[in-house]
Amino acid sequence: MLIPLIVCGILLLILIVMYFKYNNREVSLRKEAEAQRGKIESVHDTMWKVLKQEAGVTEQYRQSFERIYPELIAGRYAGDGKNLIKMIQESNPMFDTKLYDKLMQSIEVQRAYFASAQQRMLDIIRERETLLESMPSGWFIRNKQEIEYEVISSTITQEIITSRRDDNIELFA
């Protein structure tokens, strides 16, 4: 009589532990998804601020160079008949493209970071859905409400997903 009671008690204890374990994991994933949603917004905001400001610096440099260069060259070679020889011999100011390289690198890095933040959100959702649909965890979890998230993407990507066609990619159109 005592053995069946002990077995039932152990079984009940196991079920209670499983109930708390799986529900706590679901709550943890839901909270992580909420935090990730905020992170995605923050990463996107940072991405656009960095890119906009770097592009502004690059554009300002280009405009300054365009304005200053003709004056520098005109002043160096004015009133002298040996202009061509001087121009060949001297080191003239060069337009530095390093700012453009840095801008391109920032675009790549910021976009990758943003994509990574969105992919993490999708991983959280997948992990939670797997927990809900797996046995025995699915039997114990009480909150089965879906975590809603729509991936942020471009109009072009949305059109391709809808049409299922990605025929012509023109990078400089």
Which DSSP string corresponds to the chain?
-HHHHHHHHHHHHHHHHHHHHHHHHHHHHHHHHHHHHHHHHHHHHHHHHHHHHHHHHHHHHHHHHHHHHHHHHHHHHTT-TTHHHHHHHS-------HHHHHHHHHHHHHHHHHHHHHHHHHHHHHHHHHHHHSTTHHHH----PPPP------HHHHHHHHHT------TT-
Polymer length of the chain: 173
Q: What is the pTM of this model?
A: 0.75
Q: How far apart are the first and last CA of the chain?
A: 83
Would you state the pLDDT for residue 77? 55
Whole-number Cα distances in Å, 87 to 83, 97, 114, 139:
6, 22, 47, 82
Give per-residue pLDDT as tens, 7-57: 999 999 999 999 999 999 999 999 999 999 999 999 999 999 999 999 999
Specify the pLDDT at position 89: 54
CA distances from 52 to 58, 85, 110 (A): 10, 42, 12
Evaluate if residue 142 carries a pLDDT over 60.
Answer: yes
Averaged pLDDT for residues 127-145: 95
Per-residue pLDDT tens digits for 62-92: 888 888 877 766 655 555 555 555 555 556 6
Which pLDDT belongs to residue 119?
A: 98
